[in-house]
Structure 1
């Protein structure tokens, strides 16, 4: 029988959570790239906007939680990024922008930082 220390179990849980976050962000990136390629406001655009919106709203909610272990400064910076992305998504939804690439670039940077 194996016995693991609490720290080992917590490290495994953290790695699983980060992997899940990377997968979610990758899905968002894939949807945004498909929407950008279609060059129209269509089903792909709607799916990308709403999926990405849900992802960033959930991330912002988690970042506001007192249980989040990131530093206050990092949390504030990520919340600012989330707000910018949500505003850009709303501009795309209202057909005032097509800045998918900006959102894609920022999301890639965030995803790749989850190591």
Structure 2
């Protein structure tokens, strides 16, 4: 009978979580690209920003959890990125920014780091 060790199970769960996070970020990037093509005042933009806010809120909640296994400095850096993303999405929604390209670039970097 084959038994998976606890460490192997944790590694599998960690890999599966990163895969899900990467897929969620891919979806956010698809929505943001569509929003960029249709404009900052489009329904597509509203949908993209709403999804991005929900995604980063969940990611930030996980990063703030003391049980998160990432190094503390990395967690703090990612939380800072998340705060910037939430502020930028708010500015776009208020019409004081149209920086969809910046959101796309940062989310692409984060997504690529999940590989």
What runs of 5+ residues in structure 1 fail to find an aligned partner?
Answer: none
1:4 match: 4
TM-score by length of 1: 0.95
Q: How far did 1:2 drift?
A: 2.4
1:66 match: 66
Say if 2:94 is the partner of 1:94: yes
Q: How far did 1:40 drift?
A: 4.5
Residues 47, 56 of structure 1: alpha-carbon distance in 2 compared, 3 angstrom cutoff:
same
Cα root mean square deviation, aligned: 1.0
Stretches (4+) displaced over 6 A:
none
Q: How many residues align?
A: 115
What runs of 5+ residues in structure 2 fail to find an aligned partner?
Answer: none
Greater Cα shift, 2-11 or 24-33: 2-11
The alignment partner of 2:88 has SS state of helix
CA displacement 1:22-69 (0-9 Å, x = unmatched): 000010011011000002412101100100000111111111111111
Given that 2:40 and 2:92 are in contact with CA atoms closer than 8 Å, whether structure 1 keeps it comes out as: no
